[in-house]
Chain A
């Protein structure tokens, strides 16, 4: 089957079985390897891309289901306002260790801020809990999201507990 999809603002034509996950079309056919493979079952978030601005798990999204949705990947997210802010906050706070999960983290965090520019710790927990970081950089991910939002980066959850 031939599919025409829109990736990072460009029209791309790919030849693929209908059931091939978008992740492999991006990685192996279009050579956009920024989106990562972690689990293949929508459990880790490493493959997160945006479909019309909404985070989606590319590993379980068949190419046939993409249709005309605007696909944005880590390679293109820096062109958006929130994508740029999130990426620079990530670098300012040196969030990553191995970095493998971070494309997915950035994509999810960008979608969170685009929807909710002043997230609370609870909002961050809710939005980010489906992105695994095996290196456990959660402390800095939380702080970087707040920094991108222009909020104080202190973690207030412990103080709340008293």
Chain B
């Protein structure tokens, strides 16, 4: 996806932290009356403010949309502008508005907004929902409250300063009078709304919604089995479709037994679709395939099993996990193709070091495996307009992909965002959306395309594998003085593949005087993309495990070494603002805060007293503006598999936990997600295709392997930031470091599976 480098994009969140965006001075609300006599607050977001955060710009005209409506009966309906993927934004953002509007949560309804430029950025990614919306959503709510107070004051002929709002009512204390919002709606609708930047936000001590345990706003409906997910969409006269693609990435169709398929029971249509470009597989666009359309999905799926397709032979079909590993080993023996960062003279520092350590780390490709397989419902009308119902994290980018592929104006693509059965970054790509649109166009009717699990495993934008050859030199004190990483990663024609890069400021860069990050690329014809905490989900394992090795080699406590490397609490200089985000500086005091907190909660200092065969492991990772330290307590089962007893997480995402219900859930979920990756997860490439086909060969974590996860939030005086991702990375190295402490076996490649296959203490 091509985007303005200055914009904040879900695929490419700023690598440095950010402060909440404020709505531009030109953003404003207007008020009007609903047909039923209620108050309608409309947010006007000028193009400039939208561009600050929108993945792509759709229209330059200032548009308006109802954002909040207050009905005469006091029920408040708030548009939920972002996709809901399980991260809780459909609950969190309305909470922010409702808090400042001063209404009771039980009277709040959230309605999923459509994709529309007037809402500004609409995506779920980069843990950006909170930092981008924290202030603007409160401002919108506060503007509404101010108008309702003003309306009441005018009715009573009293100064607005004597009135206050609470629980959907305006009160005039001196006279004891009160009016419900519903009764004020008509009057308020005639008022001129305040400038958003001029509104006064509440003091946190007056919060009645923010900070309260608030269950997911749609959860009761999910448990009633209501139709909320993409896979549940039913539109009139809809057909069901499957789409068979080449299991070897980039394969094109030579021929297929289409006639035979068309004759099968229940099949309405079967046809070949040509992909949009030779590199569509890498770009997650429309690829060659055979569409089978039927009255029931099962009939289409059954027919697909009889499908015989001849694909073009692919030179790339020799690509394999094994060959990548061999080639990476060869590359790591020579010097890096390019240098990402060089501080000081590493070779000279190594020559002077008291001790030199070398280690090679590697991790595999991973699939997102959202539990809801990819699906999309589309209808292309005779006038060429397209209506889409999709579980997507990135609807705007999807609309553009559809428009581009079908050769129509993006304004003709209407996208309904459904609830997503998991996202994890998978649904930032909209390949399934463009398939549905093309099949709908060809059939002339509404079509729901649904993938089976094997297709979902075989057509992902995988978390890229990677290889690190580390060399470090320690001073006599044990402190690292030289650090080198030769990172062997993947690319296409000299360009690093999506989510396969090593940021030049990655720790310990800047904290070890002589340091070099070099990089060599392996040519890759398998699509890659962001997966929950892109980069961090892999790099944390390699770097934080090697830091642990350095601590042990230097005879230092791994906690003390980290505290020493980050140094005394101080605020490092802030990068320039990016898009709508002010980027707050990196604060080593916050690192220290979570490290000390997790050490205290986990009994780190007393770890020597643990029974033999049980160990604690520690790791810290900073990402998506969040500071997270985790400790794992683990041992080894008799069969060599790890036994994880408990995990502690200490998290600093600022001064306010907006919704504790969601926040603790996100941390526990992210920690267990990372634990599952470390223990079992592996995607293997053979002959240019992915081997794993279903959950029988891709072992997601299960109930009996999920240990207790104790979460502690450290409330520091910083604006709140997001929580979908930052808690994931530290658990992988913390687990490996715990297993080393427990058994002496150092894990240098993932997944772990059994300790026997890893290196015993040297």
* Structural contact, B297 and A24, CB atoms closer than 8 A: yes
Contact flag A28-B296 (CB < 8 Å), given A36-B372, A38-B373: yes
Q: Does B369 contact A (CB under 8 A)?
A: yes
- A132 — which chain B residues lie within 8 A by C-beta? 371, 695, 700, 702
Partner of B452, one of A40, A131, A155: A40
* Structural contact, B707 and A43, CB atoms closer than 8 A: no
Partner of B669, one of A78, A136, A142: A136
Minimal Cβ-Cβ distance residue in B for A29:
B296
Cα–Cα distance between A91 and B215 once the two chains are bound (Å): 7
* Structural contact, A99 and B240, CB atoms closer than 8 A: no
Cα–Cα distance between A158 and B633 once the two chains are bound (Å): 10
* Structural contact, A98 and B422, CB atoms closer than 8 A: yes
Cβ proximity bits B508-528 to A, threshold 8 Å, 1 near / 0 not? 000000000000000000000
- B612 — which chain A residues lie within 8 A by C-beta? none
Q: Does B717 contact A (CB under 8 A)?
A: no
* Interface set, chain B 283-327, CB cutoff 8 A to A: 296-298, 302
Cβ proximity bits B449-461 to A, threshold 8 Å, 1 near / 0 not? 0101100000000
Interface size class of A (residues with CB under 8 A): 35 or more
Q: Does A64 contact B (CB under 8 A)?
A: no
Q: Does A52 contact B (CB under 8 A)?
A: no
* Structural contact, A100 and B371, CB atoms closer than 8 A: yes
Interface size class of B (residues with CB under 8 A): 35 or more
- A101 — which chain B residues lie within 8 A by C-beta? 371
Q: Does B216 contact A (CB under 8 A)?
A: yes
* Structural contact, B240 and A28, CB atoms closer than 8 A: yes
Cβ proximity bits B110-132 to A, threshold 8 Å, 1 near / 0 not? 00000000000000000000000
* Structural contact, B219 and A78, CB atoms closer than 8 A: no
Partner of B708, one of A28, A38, A136, A157: A157
- B231 — which chain A residues lie within 8 A by C-beta? 33, 36-37
Cα–Cα distance between A155 and B704 once the two chains are bound (Å): 12
| Interface class of chain B by DSSP | loop
Minimal Cβ-Cβ distance residue in B for A41:
B694
Q: Does B225 contact A (CB under 8 A)?
A: yes
Q: Does A56 contact B (CB under 8 A)?
A: no
* Structural contact, B662 and A98, CB atoms closer than 8 A: no
* Structural contact, B225 and A103, CB atoms closer than 8 A: yes
Q: Does B611 contact A (CB under 8 A)?
A: yes
Cα–Cα distance between A74 and B298 once the two chains are bound (Å): 21
Q: Does B62 contact A (CB under 8 A)?
A: no
Partner of A138, one of B213, B226, B703: B703
- B229 — which chain A residues lie within 8 A by C-beta? 33, 36, 100
* Structural contact, B85 and A98, CB atoms closer than 8 A: yes
- A37 — which chain B residues lie within 8 A by C-beta? 231, 373, 450
- B704 — which chain A residues lie within 8 A by C-beta? 125-126, 128-129
Contact flag A94-B665 (CB < 8 Å), given A24-B298, A100-B371: yes
- B234 — which chain A residues lie within 8 A by C-beta? 31, 33
* Structural contact, A32 and B225, CB atoms closer than 8 A: yes
Contact flag A94-B669 (CB < 8 Å), given A43-B696, A138-B703, A157-B708: no
Contact flag A43-B669 (CB < 8 Å), given A101-B371, A126-B704: no
Cα–Cα distance between A124 and B645 once the two chains are bound (Å): 17
Cβ proximity bits B360-378 to A, threshold 8 Å, 1 near / 0 not? 0000000001111100000
* Structural contact, A97 and B225, CB atoms closer than 8 A: no
Q: Does B7 contact A (CB under 8 A)?
A: no
Minimal Cβ-Cβ distance residue in B for A34:
B225
* Interface set, chain A 6-63, CB cutoff 8 A to B: 17, 19-21, 24, 27-29, 31-41, 43-44, 46
- A28 — which chain B residues lie within 8 A by C-beta? 240, 296-298
- B671 — which chain A residues lie within 8 A by C-beta? 136
Q: Does A66 contact B (CB under 8 A)?
A: no
* Structural contact, B703 and A75, CB atoms closer than 8 A: no
Listed residue (A96, A134, A158) with the most chain B CB atoms within 10 angstroms of its CB:
A134
Cα–Cα distance between A31 and B238 once the two chains are bound (Å): 13
Listed residue (B87, B220, B703) with the most chain A CB atoms within 10 angstroms of its CB:
B703
* Interface set, chain B 399-425, CB cutoff 8 A to A: 419-424
Listed residue (B219, B224, B227, B298) with the most chain A CB atoms within 10 angstroms of its CB:
B298
Cβ proximity bits A124-162 to B, threshold 8 Å, 1 near / 0 not? 111011111111111111100000000000010110011
- B226 — which chain A residues lie within 8 A by C-beta? 34
Listed residue (B296, B297, B452) with the most chain A CB atoms within 10 angstroms of its CB:
B296
Cβ proximity bits B414-457 to A, threshold 8 Å, 1 near / 0 not? 00000111111000000000000000000000000010110000
Q: How far is the CB of A84 from chain B (nearest CB, A)?
A: 11
- B370 — which chain A residues lie within 8 A by C-beta? 98, 100, 134
Cα–Cα distance between A46 and B420 once the two chains are bound (Å): 15
* Structural contact, A20 and B672, CB atoms closer than 8 A: no
* Structural contact, A99 and B672, CB atoms closer than 8 A: no
Listed residue (B215, B218, B424) with the most chain A CB atoms within 10 angstroms of its CB:
B215
* Structural contact, A134 and B694, CB atoms closer than 8 A: no
Q: How far is the CB of A4 from chain B (nearest CB, A)?
A: 19
Q: Does B567 contact A (CB under 8 A)?
A: no
Q: Does B102 contact A (CB under 8 A)?
A: no
Q: Does B351 contact A (CB under 8 A)?
A: no
Q: How far is the CB of B673 from chain A (nearest CB, A)?
A: 5
Cβ proximity bits A75-99 to B, threshold 8 Å, 1 near / 0 not? 1001000000001001110101111
Q: Does B661 contact A (CB under 8 A)?
A: yes
Interface residues of A (CB under 8 A from B): 17, 19-21, 24, 27-29, 31-41, 43-44, 46, 73-75, 78, 87, 90-92, 94, 96-103, 106, 124-126, 128-142, 155, 157-158, 161-162
Known: A96-B219, A136-B672, A139-B668. 19 other contacts (CB 8 A): A24-B297, A37-B373, A41-B696, A75-B224, A75-B225, A87-B223, A90-B219, A97-B87, A98-B86, A98-B372, A100-B422, A103-B225, A106-B223, A131-B703, A134-B370, A136-B671, A142-B703, A158-B708, A161-B645
A-B pairs with beta carbons under 8 Å apart, 6 shown:
A28-B298, A33-B232, A37-B450, A38-B373, A40-B694, A137-B668
